[in-house]
């Protein structure tokens, strides 16, 4: 496969352009007047998740003269959002798995299914695992997360086939699903949520809710124990209320100060030992280790001592390497949580920043949003919202906006939010990959 700008590739790109409405033909005139850079700048986007796929698409939207190559090893992308719903049996695996076809066909993005093995910011090149090298004018990196494998004794990457984290959706999600299905009624599911900061702050607690929903229907004698590395968590009062109302004493949460912090795992016996030396034995054990930026970000020298990537938070350009942008979970994005919605918003802002930079326009200071919906049960949804804006230093929260679903609201509110949670999923997956 050739991914350099060969004649064959050019013809393919050209034919995509021809398929667009007449307006798109302005592109070539625009290219002539473009002051900076080459006639057709090339932006390479690494990672076809929420951040990268959105950015690739919006780069083409903001300046269709930009040639975009999206590099993602997986042929289909299974979303983490919705993966907890799948664990409950509320949706199937296919419904949370999406293809890159629309990005190729509808948006004229060159999607290359390969791993990136290295980045050379000085030479402006990206090296692929298959040995090929790509030249770029601007680079966007959205590699998601990696785990800090040195934080829990006895639990390493070789153990995930027995004790899943299921914090990167795909085979891990299926494995946890199968283990829950195989578990006897009366068994114990133990989940160990990570310390902050981590991908999707309400995610572990939505997972608990969804496993409880499944147990309530199919294995009502079973127990759920949460051994938490934290003393509080996202939407905690709302989750606690929902758990009490819907699942009674099925769920036990043990915070860090109450002995919930885990120290080691014995994978063979699915036993966890806490910092205080207490042991807990599970039938299904789900350990979610502490996190850091995706491996590629480390290899490319884009991280700082925190293990995440510092960026200018108005454009998401790296503060370490010029011309390289980091978005999504790997980036340090001020007050924005590590979520698919945040990554989607950041992908758009980053695309705008690159179009602005390449064309000599002025960078606006847009407002971004994040919403994390969670299902507590099939017909019971809750949410947390914030609006963000760059304040000259960091991506800060806009005062007076945002907040969580009211506690003690009428069931109709929770029902409506469950419906909108699914609506959010449909919309954001179309905005990112399908539409």
Catalog residues that contact ligand HEC under the rule CB under 6 A.
Answer: 369, 371, 420, 424
Q: Which is nearer to ligand FAD, 199 or 219 (CB)?
A: 199
Binding range to ligand FAD, per CB under 6 A, among 70-78, 92-100, 217-225, 229-237: 70-78
Is residue 87 at the binding interface for ligand FAD, with CB under 6 A as the rule? no
| CB of 165 closer than 8 Å to CB of 193 | no
The answer to whether 59 touches 351, Cβ cutoff 8 Å, is yes
Least separation, in Å, of the C-beta of 230 and other proteins? 24
Q: Per CB under 8 A, does 401 bind other proteins? A: yes
Cis peptide before 109 (omega within 30 of 0): no
- Specify which residues 382 forms β-bridges with: 374
- Residue 294 token pair: 């995706």
Nearest-approach distance from CB 242 to ligand HEC, in angstroms: 19
- Per-residue tokens: 214: 């499944």
Rule CB under 8 A: say whether 405 interacts with other proteins.
yes
Question: Which of ligand HEC, ligand FAD, other proteins, none interacts with 10 (beta carbon under 5 to 8 A by kind)?
Answer: none
Which residue's Cβ has the minimum distance to ligand FAD? 49
Residues 63 to 92: which contact other proteins by CB under 8 A? 63-65
Q: Which of residues 27-46 bind ligand FAD (CB under 6 A)?
A: 46
| 119 part of the interface to ligand FAD, by CB under 6 A | no
* Smallest distance from other proteins to CB 17, Å: 11
Q: Is 313 in the site for other proteins (CB under 8 A)?
A: no
Residue 154 Rama label (left phi>0; alpha psi -120 to 50; beta): left
Residues in region 292-331 near ligand FAD by CB under 6 A? 294, 296, 328-329
Please report where in the chains the tokens 């590699």 appear, as a residue: 143
At 27, list the tokens.
């592109």
CB nearer to ligand FAD: pick between 191 and 274: 191
Q: Give the Cα separation of 83 and 375 in Å (integer).
A: 11
Residues 101, 103, 104, 110, CA torsion sign: negative
Pick out residues in 362-381 that bind other proteins (CB under 8 A).
362-369, 371
For the chain, the distance separating the N- and C-terminal CA atoms, rounded to the nearest angstrom, is 26
356-386 burial: b if 16+ Cβ within 10 Å, else e: bbbbeeeeeeeebbbbbbbbbbeebbbbbeb
Stretch that binds other proteins, among 136-144, 156-164, 270-278, 349-357 (CB under 8 A): 349-357
**Cα distance between residue 88 and residue 392, in whole Å:** 43
Tell me how far apart the alpha carbons of residues 176 and 182 are, in angstroms, rounded to a whole number: 10
Residue 227 lies near other proteins (rule: CB under 8 A):
no
Instruction: Look at strands 42-46 and 67-71 and give their pairing.
Output: parallel
Count of chain residues binding ligand FAD (CB under 6 A): 37
Local structure of residue 153 (DSSP, 8 states): B
**Least Cβ distance, residue 74 to other proteins (angstroms):** 22
| Residue 77 contact among ligand FAD, ligand HEC, other proteins, none, beta carbon within 5 to 8 Å by kind | ligand FAD
* Phi, psi angle pair for 387, to nearest 5°: -110, 140
Q: How far is the CB of 51 from ligand FAD (least distance, A)?
A: 3
Distance CA 320, CA 122 (A): 12
Question: Min. distance of Cβ 333 from ligand HEC in angstroms?
Answer: 17
Distances in Å between the Cα of 221 and the Cα atoms of 74, 129, 224, 240, 244 are 39, 49, 10, 20, 16
Q: Which stretch binds ligand FAD (CB under 6 A): 141-149, 225-233, 271-279, 348-356?
A: 141-149
Q: Which residues sit at the interface with other proteins, rule CB under 8 A?
A: 20-21, 23-24, 26-27, 29-30, 58, 60-65, 341, 344-345, 348-349, 352, 355-356, 359, 361-369, 371, 383, 385, 387, 389, 398, 400-403, 405, 413, 416-417, 419-420, 422-424, 426-428, 430-431, 435
Q: Name the site residues for ligand FAD (rule: CB under 6 A).
A: 46-52, 71-74, 77, 80-81, 83-84, 115-116, 142-144, 167, 199-200, 203, 207, 294, 296, 328-329, 338-341, 343, 372-373
């Amino acid at each position: 496969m050739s991914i350099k700008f060969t004649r064959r590739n050019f013809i393919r790109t050209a034919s995509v352009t021809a398929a667009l409405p007449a307006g798109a033909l302005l592109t070539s005139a625009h290219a002539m007047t473009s002051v900076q850079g080459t006639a057709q700048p090339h932006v390479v986007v690494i990672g076809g998740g929420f951040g990268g796929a959105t950015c690739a698409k919006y780069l083409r939207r903001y300046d269709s003269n930009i040639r975009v190559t999206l590099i993602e090893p997986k042929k289909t992308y299974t979303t983490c959002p919705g993966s907890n719903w799948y664990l409950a049996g509320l949706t199937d695996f296919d419904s949370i798995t999406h293809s890159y076809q629309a990005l190729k066909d509808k948006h004229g993005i060159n999607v290359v299914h390969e791993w990136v093995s290295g980045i050379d910011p000085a030479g402006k090149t990206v090296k692929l695992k298959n040995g090929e090298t790509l030249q770029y004018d601007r680079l966007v990196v959205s590699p998601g997360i990696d785990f800090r494998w040195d934080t829990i004794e006895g639990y390493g990457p070789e153990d995930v086939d027995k004790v899943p984290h299921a914090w990167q959706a795909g085979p891990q999600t299926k494995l946890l699903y199968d283990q829950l299905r195989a578990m006897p009624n009366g068994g114990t599911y133990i989940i160990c949520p990570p310390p902050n900061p981590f991908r999707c702050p309400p995610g572990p607690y939505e997972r608990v809710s969804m496993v409880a929903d499944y147990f309530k229907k199919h294995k009502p004698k079973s127990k759920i124990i949460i051994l938490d590395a934290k003393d509080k968590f996202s939407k905690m009062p709302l989750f606690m209320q929902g758990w009490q109302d819907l699942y009674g004493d099925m769920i036990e949460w043990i915070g860090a100060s109450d002995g919930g912090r885990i120290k080691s795992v014995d994978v063979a016996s699915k036993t966890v030992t806490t910092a205080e030396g207490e042991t807990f034995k599970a039938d299904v054990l789900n350990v979610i280790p502490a996190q850091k930026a995706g491996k590629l970000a480390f290899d490319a020298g884009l991280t700082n001592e925190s293990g995440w990537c510092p960026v200018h938070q108005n454009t998401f350009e790296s503060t370490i390497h010029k011309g390289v942008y980091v978005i999504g979970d790997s980036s340090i994005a001020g007050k924005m949580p590590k979520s698919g919605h945040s990554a989607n918003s950041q992908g758009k802002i980053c695309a705008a920043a690159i179009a602005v930079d390449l064309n000599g326009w002025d960078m606006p200071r847009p407002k971004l949003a994040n919403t994390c919906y969670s299902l507590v049960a099939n017909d019971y949804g809750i949410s947390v919202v914030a609006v963000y804006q760059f304040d000259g230093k960091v991506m800060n929260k806009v005062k007076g906006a945002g907040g969580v679903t009211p506690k003690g609201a009428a069931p109709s509110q929770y029902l409506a939010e469950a419906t909108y949670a699914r609506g959010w999923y449909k919309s954001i997956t179309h905005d990112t990959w399908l539409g």
